[in-house]
Amino acid sequence: MGLPASAKAISFIITRDRAAAKVFYGAVLGFALTHEDDFAAVFDLNGTMLRVSTVPDHVAQAHTVLGWAVQDIETAVRTLAAAGVAFNIYDGFGQDALGIWSAPGGTNKVAWFKDPDGNVLSLTQF
């Protein structure tokens, strides 16, 4: 049976500082704030809802928790870097100077960055 075809995915990000997260997801990444209440600030991620919920003792995980597929990763990285986003460089990955990793034997590329709470986010070009 499964979910109805009309069911849409919702993403969740946890923050310790909602004000900083709102600036990051809104002004820096460019997503529209669609709703805010006592429980979350809600953004439209190009058709997918993102609920940014406050948890005072949140500890970010080391793995990617949210990512975006982009057509041109180099342009996307340069645009975000110009807005102040720092891209992660991981030892042994062999990323380029922009922080872009190219998958061996293929055309996939990935770049990772963190939000103000240290949640790892990514850009991927397939």
User: What pLDDT, on a 0 to 100 scale, did the predictor assign at position 85?
Assistant: 98
pLDDT band at 1 (very low <50, low <70, confident <90, very high): confident
Q: What is the pTM of this model?
A: 0.95
Question: What local confidence, expressed as pLDDT, does residue 20 receive?
Answer: 98
Q: Domain-by-domain residue ranges, the chain?
A: 9-57, 60-126
Q: How many CB atoms lie within 10 A of CB 40?
A: 19
* pLDDT for position 81: 98
What digits encode the pLDDT tens for the residues 54-110?
A: 999 999 999 999 999 999 999 999 999 999 999 999 999 999 999 999 999 999 999
Written as one letter, the residue type at 49 is M
Q: What is the pLDDT of residue 75?
A: 98
Per CATH, which fold does 60-126 belong to? 2,3-Dihydroxybiphenyl 1,2-Dioxygenase; domain 1 (3.10.180)
Q: Does domain 9-57 have CATH number 3.30.420.40?
A: no
Please answer whether residues 45 and 9 qualify as being in contact, where contact means their C-beta atoms are separated by less than 8 angstroms: no
Q: Tens digits of per-residue pLDDT, 19-43? A: 999 999 999 999 999 999 999 999 9
